[in-house]
Structure 1
């Protein structure tokens, strides 16, 4: 979720074990021992080395930075060492929300690497559950990303914002995209808006379909998600379901809950056409009785629709319409850039 330089690309990757001291004016051997002890969870060694640093030879444990830009507290948090974190914060007075060189707090790191017990310890010591990393993600975003229901619940109880927006959207969008129904349920319980869209083209409902999570989709619909709301280009949840194979249960549920099969996409196509293009005959059979007749398809039947949509003439017309749409989006993007609406400009590209 974050840049590789500052945050991990994988929720399971441990912090670099080769971190060494960078602080000046301190005994490098003692500092290196402190950092490694913090990573390894060696409580006695942390206490001894921290006391030695505090005795006057350097800046103290809180002022020692590693080559990976993290202090002993941040390394302990990232490696899941709650007892070390408690010692450093409670006994040595290191600020619980101290930042790494990339702006991560210990709680953010604990949440990133799914160190639930460590995150709970930090929250007990007053860590900010709404702290933001360099990409605007909160600890709740990371709990949603990792499917950590326990941590998500704990963060929400401590005042985390269920609707916080980051580059990846809200925590609910993240949980739906990652197909974590347990986290989706918790977020909805704490008031997450099932229709809120932030910095992404999909609604949480559409995200659940893209991730292939029928359970997430059902939870969102039951919470009031709009089954006809799409992204900025009009891609409704039903269109998204029809554009994928094996989504018959999704299509049936959407239709049962009021999805409109006669809303065209940006190319003027109906969901039945998209389903037929993917040769999902069973989906076409479900859509056929509720779809308005298209005059250009003379053989108005399931087989006739599939045959027409897969003809060379139809495919060429769709290709031409797509080119026209892309040109229009480029022009809209250029206009948005000129008026300095950069978010819109990016979406149009």
Structure 2
């Protein structure tokens, strides 16, 4: 159906009631072939829905590194912040989607970005207990002394808290 509609030169970026485009819907459904077709025909990967999410936010939320790679190859912006103050990297980490987080870090996503609670990617990686992402982040130019809004906790405080639970 997508191929048929694209052959008829349909509008690539019409929005539904939540300002979601066919590309966003295809990413939400993890329909990789549709995502590729839409991107190859010029669908805009940076349209923002009513929640401030782009297609890349949904790929990060779903943990879909393959779709995230396709979106980035077609100009998806890494640093868009949604209404919850989350970039795709922060959203991926918050959801525990380590593969997407690793991909976004390697794509040069901002590793010093913070969410609404001033939590850094390092703090979120510690929370989701991903030693590989913690290690990858520590190889970047990050502020390991950044403090969150919840009592001014640092990444080290997050690590200590995790250790005390195990």
Q: Compute the TM-score of the two structures, normalised by the length of structure 2.
A: 0.89
Task: Say whether 1:186 aligns with 2:65.
Answer: no
Aligned-CA RMSD value: 1.7
Query: Alpha-carbon deviation of 1:108?
Result: 0.6
Distance of 2:117 and 2:51 partners within structure 1? 14
1:335 matched residue in structure 2: none
Query: Alpha-carbon deviation of 1:168?
Result: 4.9
1:130 matched residue in structure 2: 46
The answer (yes or no) to whether the contact 1:206–1:230 under 8 Å persists in 2 is no
Task: Say whether 1:206 aligns with 2:123.
Answer: yes
> Which protein has the bigger helix share?
1
Distance of 2:154 and 2:29 partners within structure 1? 34
Query: Alpha-carbon deviation of 1:112?
Result: 1.4
Q: Deviations over 1:293-349 (max 9, x none)?
A: xxxxxxxxxxxxxxxxxxxxxxxxxxxxxxxxxxxxxxxxxxxxxxxxxxxxxxxxx
Distance of 2:85 and 2:34 partners within structure 1? 25
What SS does the corresponding residue of 2:96 show, helix, strand or coil? coil
2:58 matched residue in structure 1: 142
Query: Alpha-carbon deviation of 1:154?
Result: 1.1
Distance of 2:138 and 2:42 partners within structure 1? 36
1:238 pairs, out of 151, 156, 163, with: 156
Distance of 2:85 and 2:3 partners within structure 1? 31
What SS does the corresponding residue of 1:243 show, helix, strand or coil? helix
Relative to structure 1, the CA distance from residue 89 to residue 105 in structure 2 (aligned partners, 3 Å threshold; closer, same or farther) is same
2:26 matched residue in structure 1: 110
The answer (yes or no) to whether the contact 1:197–1:204 under 8 Å persists in 2 is yes
Query: Alpha-carbon deviation of 1:185?
Result: 2.3
1:90 matched residue in structure 2: 7
Distance of 1:136 and 1:158 partners within structure 2? 19
What SS does the corresponding residue of 1:224 show, helix, strand or coil? coil
1:100 pairs, out of 5, 9, 16, with: 16
Distance of 1:132 and 1:239 partners within structure 2? 35
The answer (yes or no) to whether the contact 1:165–1:199 under 8 Å persists in 2 is no
Query: Alpha-carbon deviation of 1:127?
Result: 0.5
Distance of 1:219 and 1:140 partners within structure 2? 21
Give the number of aligned pairs.
Answer: 164
Distance of 1:179 and 1:224 partners within structure 2? 22
1:224 matched residue in structure 2: 141
Query: Alpha-carbon deviation of 1:221?
Result: 1.5
2:67 pairs, out of 136, 147, 151, with: 151
Q: Compute the TM-score of the two structures, normalised by the length of structure 1.
A: 0.44
Work out which of the two has the higher radius of gyration on C-alpha atoms and give 1 or 2: 1
What SS does the corresponding residue of 2:53 show, helix, strand or coil? coil
Distance of 2:113 and 2:159 partners within structure 1? 20
